[in-house]
Amino acid sequence: KAGVTQTPRYLIKTRGQQVTLSCSPISGHRSVSWYQQTPGQGLQFLFEYFSETQRNKGNFPGRFSGRQFSNSRSEMNVSTLELGDSALYLCASSLKVPLQKGDTEAFFGQGTRLTVV
């Protein structure tokens, strides 16, 4: 079965622009989470969507937003880009309604490498 697909893989933007990243979860998975990974901060949780609703949110400014569609695909948007937004953005999907204990593993996409210049 296909894994988590993130597009694009690489992106270069200039300060002040906005960007939209896409994530297609594993078929049947209803939860999508987004993370920002930088060398200095490690993996930081952005937000999580389940059935088109944002259920959890990390400590990121309002410039970071997201949404989930009825087919569970999710998009993340960053407006007014800053140099510090350069990072690897990862999305992960999981069942979130586990049939049994242990069905909560998160499966990650390959990420989108965003560079802000």
Partner 1 sequence: TQLLEQSPQFLSIQEGENLTVYCNSSSVFSSLQWYRQEPGEGPVLLVTVVTGGEVKKLKRLTFQFGDARKDSSLHITAAQPGDTGLYLCVGERAYKYIFGTGTRLKVLA
If one asks whether residue 115 binds partner 1 (CB under 8 A), the answer comes out as: no
In the complex, the smallest distance separating the C-beta of residue 25 from partner 1, rounded to whole angstroms, is: 13
Count Cα neighbours of 29 within 13 Å in the Cβ-side half-sphere: 29
Would you state the structure tokens that stand for residue 61, as one six-digit string? 């400014």
Query: Per rule CB under 8 A, is residue 33 in the interface with partner 1?
Result: yes
Residue 106 touches partner 1, criterion: CB under 8 A: yes
19-43 in b/e form (b: 16+ CB < 10 A) is bebebbbbeebbbbbbbbeeeeeee
For position 93 contacting partner 1 by CB under 8 A, the verdict is: no
Q: Which residues bind to partner 1, rule: CB under 8 A?
A: 4, 6, 31, 33, 42-43, 45, 56, 88, 90, 92, 96, 101-102, 104-111, 113
